[in-house]
C-alpha cells in the first residue's frame, strides 16, 4: 500500500496569520498520525510564510512515523536538516519567492550539486528524494546523483486528468518502470486529491509514498481531519 504523508504547510499558514500557536502544528501532526497518516511533511521556505525552520526540530521530537522535510537545499535549509535529521529530505528547486513548487530538477544540469547534497544526506543517515518531472533522462540523472528516491511532480497530471486520464498518466507509468529498474524508490506529490489519487496509484503502483497537503486540508474543512485522512487512505487501498 502506498503511504500517505500529510503536508502541514497550510496548517502552519493559518497559524502564522495570527502570530500565535493556533492551530498547534505539533498537535495536528500527532493527530494526523493517530488518524492513520503514515508520515508528516513540511516545506519551510526562506520567508517562513508557512512552515518554519523551527518546526523541523519540534516535529522531529514527536513524529513517530516518518518526517519528510522538503525544500531547496540552500545553506540554511541544509544546516537545519543536517542538525535535526528528519527521516527523509526531498530536494525541490523552488525559487525563494515561489508560490508553490511547479517543476522538478534538471538533474543533468545540476548533477554535481545534487550529488554533493545526496552525499551529505546519506552521511547523516537521511533518505534523499529528488523532485523531478516524469522524463526518462531526468530520472536517470537522479540515479546518477545518488538519490535514494525520486518524487514525481504530479501537477501536470492533475491538470490533464479530467480531459484524458490515460494520456495524463502515461509518462509517469513509463518513468516509474524505469525508476524501479534503476533501483530508485518513488514518491509523488502536487495536486493529488480525492478525485485523481486512486487512479494515479492504480496506474503507477510502484509509488511508495504520496505527499498531500493543500487538497487534504481543504477537504478537511468540509469532512473533518480524521474523516478526510481516512478518505485518502481509502483511495490508496488497492
Active site residues per annotation: 43, 70, 190
- Asked if 50 and 9 touch (Cβ cutoff 8 Å), the reply is yes
Backbone angles phi, psi at 170, to 5 degrees: -55, -50
Backbone angles phi, psi at 113, to 5 degrees: -65, -50
CA torsion sign, 157 to 163 to 169 to 171?
Answer: negative
- Asked if 229 and 29 touch (Cβ cutoff 8 Å), the reply is no
Give the other-Cβ count within 10 Å of 18's Cβ: 8
Helical (H) or strand (E) element with 68: strand 67-71
Cα gap 203→207, rounded to integer Å = 10
Q: Coil, strand or helix: which one is 34?
A: helix
Residue of 31, 21, 18 lying closest to 220 (CA atoms):
31
The DSSP symbol for 190 reads S
Amino acid at each position: 500500500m502506498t503511504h500517505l504523508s500529510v503536508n502541514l504547510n497550510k496548517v502552519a499558514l493559518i497559524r502564522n496569520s495570527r502570530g500565535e500557536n493556533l492551530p498547534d502544528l505539533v498537535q495536528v501532526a500527532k493527530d494526523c498520525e493517530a488518524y492513520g497518516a503514515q508520515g508528516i511533511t513540511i516545506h519551510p521556505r526562506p520567508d517562513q510564510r508557512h512552515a518554519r525552520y523551527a518546526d523541523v526540530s519540534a516535529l522531529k521530537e514527536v513524529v513517530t512515523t516518518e518526517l519528510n522535510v522538503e525544500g531547496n537545499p540552500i545553506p540554511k535549509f541544509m544546516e537545519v536538516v543536517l542538525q535535526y535529521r528528519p527521516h527523509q529530505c526531498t530536494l525541490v528547486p523552488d525559487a525563494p519567492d515561489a508560490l508553490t513548487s511547479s517543476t522538478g530538477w534538471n538533474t543533468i544540469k545540476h548533477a554535481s550539486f545534487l550529488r554533493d547534497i545526496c552525499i551529505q544526506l546519506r552521511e547523516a543517515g537521511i533518505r534523499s528524494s529528488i523532485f523531478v518531472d516524469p522524463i526518462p533522462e531526468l530520472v536517470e540523472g537522479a540515479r546518477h546523483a545518488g538519490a535514494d528516491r525520486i518524487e514525481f511532480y504530479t501537477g501536470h497530471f492533475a491538470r490533464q486528468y479530467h480531459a484524458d486520464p490515460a494520456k495524463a498518466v502515461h509518462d509517469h507509468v513509463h518513468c516509474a518502470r524505469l525508476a524501479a529498474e534503476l533501483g530508485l524508490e518513488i514518491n509523488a506529490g502536487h495536486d493529488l486529491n480525492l478525485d485523481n489519487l486512486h487512479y494515479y496509484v492504480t496506474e503507477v503502483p510502484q509509488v511508495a509514498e504520496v505527499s498531500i497537503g493543500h487538497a487534504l486540508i481543504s477537504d478537511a474543512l468540509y469532512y473533518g481531519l480524521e474523516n478526510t485522512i481516512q478518505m485518502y487512505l481509502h483511495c490508496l487501498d488497492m
